[in-house]
Structure 1
């Protein structure tokens, strides 16, 4: 079922743009999607349609600074002028609360791609009683990555205002990853082997922009929180995790970051289903061969609801 779009006023003051799809037939559960950096929730419509066929409703919000969401204490390309990450988390909690109110008695699973994976793990650590599972795809949740971003951001903020574009980080990440796949496509080829999907991303004015120093600073804080084992203690051992990574994804060091997260979760006593996909790049849901991966994910969801 196609997305419907509406807004939700968060307790933080943000007017969140929401995208929803209803389950076909009886609702077995709700998947709450947190999208990645420099993109937006509407891009998950095809993914949601596939899950609707298996009985799962979907809700996804544009994060602060992304898509069509607005906030009086923020601006495009940054979360908020102060305490940005905590406000992103509070926004996600508001979406979850409404989903549980609309769909009482069915499980809610939080899902995140890339930066959204950090949002989702943070969410599981902060609000574990509100979810029945946590899916983290294509995410690099590592103390080293958080420390490096913090270091570079600290340097950048010595010479630039927080709301200005973080060109140096963009050069070290997105632009550097572009070079690896320049023979396929000079821009954003690292996202997918399906170049038609990459073309859509590049043509989308709400995608591919350079994030602010402020956003990167906030994101680094969220990464550090998610990478700290002591914060896992709030998560019950019964909560299942689902991890996906691609061996050709530079953002996760060719899925090594995904493997490390899986090992970390299992060492801590959690059940973590992990799938490492050969030759897949960063955006699994927009990759060649995505259909089979989504089918397997739906099978995992079926064990929850």
Structure 2
């Protein structure tokens, strides 16, 4: 069974969330934090797979995305101020809804791409998830992040907070599709051409985000790169990092390994990395998605 609802935040935002519930009583819940310039309904196939194994799935559309944005004119903008933390707080609100619905069932958090950065922020602030799965995550050089943050200040002064930033969009993603230009735009996401075409044709995917959004993103990347923040993570929290071998966001597998080392340096006890051969950025939408689905299911089942 699938349902969609909204919750209201303390600052008055209406956040849409979706849940896919198994026919039998669930043994676990997976909370999904989707990536940049996409939306939670793209995870329905994965959710239905998990439902067959008695795992419920909840996912909200982040601010400026999907049904939370509503009108396409609102896409790509979190908030005037403190957008990153507000979005993480929204995720926490959804966790509380899940815990109210299923008070005795473990909640696992899954974050993809930008959602992985949000999830990595989440676990430094809250200690209420049973395990963490990171998909398509990355480790950016601190100097690069700090430079981007300075540029963000000047761009906001020049262009305003809500203006879509083609400059930062190109800076962030400009080189990703070069190896696949003959396959068309966004082919760096997946080897599955049908998935890429659906993404291109979806008005709620692939949009250029605002100057303020990129400022929030750079803040988040800066925050999760610092060891002093990651030292607040519960050292018994199991973390599973999955990525594609050809994912440009993760520097072709190097980024996830760096993230794992950061967590191990913070004395976390259970950190595992799995790089899927040949896969690109969206491993849940890859040609070997069944392998990925089953692999994640096995990890959740083991840690449940």
Q: Name the TM tier (shorter chain).
A: over 0.9
Q: What is the aligned partner in structure 2 of residue 284 from structure 1?
A: 283
In 2, are the aligned partners of 1:14 and 1:70 still within 8 Å (CA)?
no
Q: What is the aligned partner in structure 1 of residue 161 from structure 2?
A: 162
In 1, are the aligned partners of 2:82 and 2:216 still within 8 Å (CA)?
yes
Q: What is the aligned partner in structure 1 of residue 152 from structure 2?
A: 153
> What is the distance in 1 between the residues matched to 2:157 and 2:179?
30
In 1, are the aligned partners of 2:65 and 2:75 still within 8 Å (CA)?
yes
- Farther-moved stretch of structure 1 (168-177 vs 194-203): 168-177
Q: Secondary structure at the match of 1:119?
A: helix
Q: What is the aligned partner in structure 2 of residue 257 from structure 1?
A: 255
Matching residue within 177, 194, 197 for 2:195: 197
> What is the distance in 2 between the residues matched to 1:31 and 1:52?
10
> What is the distance in 2 between the residues matched to 1:78 and 1:142?
22
Q: What is the aligned partner in structure 2 of residue 216 from structure 1?
A: 214
In 1, are the aligned partners of 2:75 and 2:207 still within 8 Å (CA)?
no
In 2, are the aligned partners of 1:5 and 1:20 still within 8 Å (CA)?
yes
In 2, are the aligned partners of 1:112 and 1:137 still within 8 Å (CA)?
yes
What are the superposed Cα offsets for residues 164-203 of structure 1, whole Å, 9 maximum, x if unpaired? Answer: 111112122333222221112x210100000100000001
* Distance apart, 1:278 and its partner CA: 1.4
Q: Cα distance 1:148–1:42, how it changes in 2: closer, same or farther (>3 A)? A: farther
Q: What is the aligned partner in structure 2 of residue 140 from structure 1?
A: 138
Q: Cα distance 1:167–1:254, how it changes in 2: closer, same or farther (>3 A)? A: same
TM-score, reference length from structure 2 = 0.94
Matches within 5 A, 1:74-223: 75-128=74-127, 130-144=128-142, 146-184=145-183, 186-223=184-221
1:58 aligns with 2:53: no
* Distance apart, 1:148 and its partner CA: 4.5
> What is the distance in 2 between the residues matched to 1:260 and 1:232?
14
Q: CA RMSD in A?
A: 1.7
Q: Cα distance 1:238–1:38, how it changes in 2: closer, same or farther (>3 A)? A: same
- Please list every run of 5 or more consecutive structure 2 residues that lacks an aligned counterpart in the other structure: none
Matches within 5 A, 1:15-94: 15-70=14-69, 75-94=74-93
- Please list every run of 5 or more consecutive structure 1 residues that lacks an aligned counterpart in the other structure: none
Q: Cα distance 1:193–1:151, how it changes in 2: closer, same or farther (>3 A)? A: farther
* Distance apart, 1:158 and its partner CA: 4.5
Aligned residues: 300
TM-score, reference length from structure 1 = 0.93
What are the superposed Cα offsets for residues 48-71 of structure 1, whole Å, 9 maximum, x if unpaired? Answer: 111111221010000001111049
